[in-house]
Amino acid sequence: MPDPRLNPAHGQAAQTRRVLRGDLLDFTADPGFALPDEAPGVRWRADHVLLIEGERIAAIQPASQPMPQDWADVPVTDHRGQLILPGFIDTHVHCPQLDVIASYGAELLDWLNTYTFPAERRYVDPLVAREGAERFLNALWAHGTTSAVVFPTVHKVSAEALFDMASARHMRLITGKVLMDRHAPEGLLDDVDQAEKDCVDLIDRFHGKDRQAFAVTVRFAPTSTPEQLTMAGRLCQAYAGTYMQTHVAENRDEVRWVSELFPTARSYLDVYDRDGLIGPRAVLAHGIWLDANDRAVLKAHGAQIAHSPSSNLFLGSGLFNWLEAEREGVNVSLASDVGGGTSLSMLRNIADAYKIQALQGVRLSAWKALYTCTLGAASHLGLADEIGRLEPGCMADVVVWNVAKGPVAEHRDEVAQQRLARVLHEHLHERIFAWVTMGDERNLVSTYVAGQCVHQAASVAQAAVQ
């Protein structure tokens, strides 16, 4: 049977009203690094119904309350005992790197040359780019991610494929042709003039349409000449509402290399800042080896660091000091950075983030972590009116989860629920923290993008057929 998920006509003919029933969890404010039972902004609505009309959330109410008269005949999808959350937002991920995820034995620079660049060269082929984009978006949805800031490759067709496929499902996607004009193999190099023309064409065709946004995408400072960085800054200034994405200060050898290539720059970050690349829509992956001056620049511009915990651990890049960054006014979001990261699951990345902070004497709550990859990321991207929360008027990017999957997790959840019955607020966190720590994509029940189901767990799909 053909897969209807990426067929635009399927969305047009699909059901326009849906009602989901379950336990709703989202956030109204940043919980911060407070103790779990003192954290502000946590919104828990047990046994509520979520009314979806078209692409947006129409209303939310307790399940015990009578349905509005004109909704009385809309069937209710019953998820009692399951969690309903806003879809996750992955602020840094590489589409073509699914080909090299879980590659052995290299730090960043060797990893790029040995694994990443050869994989990305294949995306010059439009068919490879299209198949890769389809596989990638399906994989995001299968891990509970409904919005993403994405690196394609240097090839214009790779960005076109992502834009086309995300547009077909009205998925919020931020991407743009990668800029690289040096220190990369043949087949992955562009030039300043043609790259600028390609970017302008993509902006004209896709930016601001069907929930797509263009990002000026500098691979990282070493692979762009000063002339290309100047051009990239010019694009950021000329086209309002565009984003900028790049990498910064991920690995110590990389930082040393940048200082050799740009000897007049104060720091790695300054390479970007002096060309006008740092602004409120700048998303910089990693930022492990920044100093206080760099963090002050990020604060002044309202830029964000996309913390990529799984990747940082896997490549041995270092331990990001999240608490220090936020104390100094830096916006922080969470990212998978696949394929340096080892999973598209934001739950797995949250678990790794917890361990990184624990090694530095900081305890990351489930509330802070979940906020960061929902409303927090949406706020930093300037999209909080659209995504990241369960609120009437927001887009219906919604994900349903099993709190526990498997006998060990199910037993753990039973223990937490017994305590929850006695002390609500404190032990709700215990239950959610266990889900975040032990859960992954196997806990996923279904994913909705713009009100349409784009992924269902195999057991749910089979039950529907029966």
The CATH number of whichever domain residue 434 belongs to comes to 2.30.40.10
Instruction: State yes or no: pLDDT of 461 exceeds 90.
Output: no
- The per-residue pLDDT for range 143-175, each reduced to its tens digit, is 999 999 999 999 999 999 999 999 999 999 999
The mean pLDDT of the chain is 92
Write down the pLDDT at residue 419.
67
Residue range of the domain that includes 37: 8-87+388-465
Burial class of residue 104 in the structure, from the number of CB atoms within 10 Å of its CB (0-12 exposed, 13-18 middle, 19+ buried): exposed
Residues 214, 124: one domain?
yes
- As separate numbers, helices (DSSP H) first and strands (DSSP E) second, the chain gives 18, 16
Q: Are residues 210 and 272 in the same domain?
A: yes
What tens digit of pLDDT does each residue of 224-273 get?
999 999 999 999 999 989 999 999 999 999 999 999 999 999 999 999 99
pLDDT tens digits for range 337-382: 998 999 999 999 999 999 999 999 999 999 999 999 999 999 999 9
Q: Residue 253 is part of a domain; what is its CATH number?
A: 3.20.20.140
Tell which of 316, 344, 372 closes a domain.
Answer: 344
Q: pLDDT of 36-93, one tens digit each? A: 888 899 999 999 999 999 999 999 999 999 999 999 999 999 999 999 999 999 999 9
Handedness of CA 321, 327, 331, 332 (dihedral sign): positive
Q: Is residue 167 part of a domain?
A: yes
The per-residue pLDDT for range 7-20, each reduced to its tens digit, is 443 444 345 899 99
Is pLDDT at 102 greater than 80 in this prediction? yes
**Do 187 and 110 sit in the same domain of this protein?**
yes
Give the number of domains in the chain: 2
pLDDT exceeds cutoff 50 at 197: yes
Burial of residue 264 (number of CB atoms within 10 Å: 0-12, 13-18, 19+): exposed
Residue ending a domain, among 344, 361, 377, is 344
Of the residues 311, 327, 344, the one at which a domain ends: 344
- Give the contacts of 24 (CB within 8 A, at least 6 positions apart): 43, 44, 45, 46, 48, 50, 60, 84, 85, 390
As a whole number, mean pLDDT of residues 451-462 equals 82
| Residue 51 lies inside a defined structural domain of this protein | yes
Average pLDDT rounded to a whole number, residues 117-133: 94
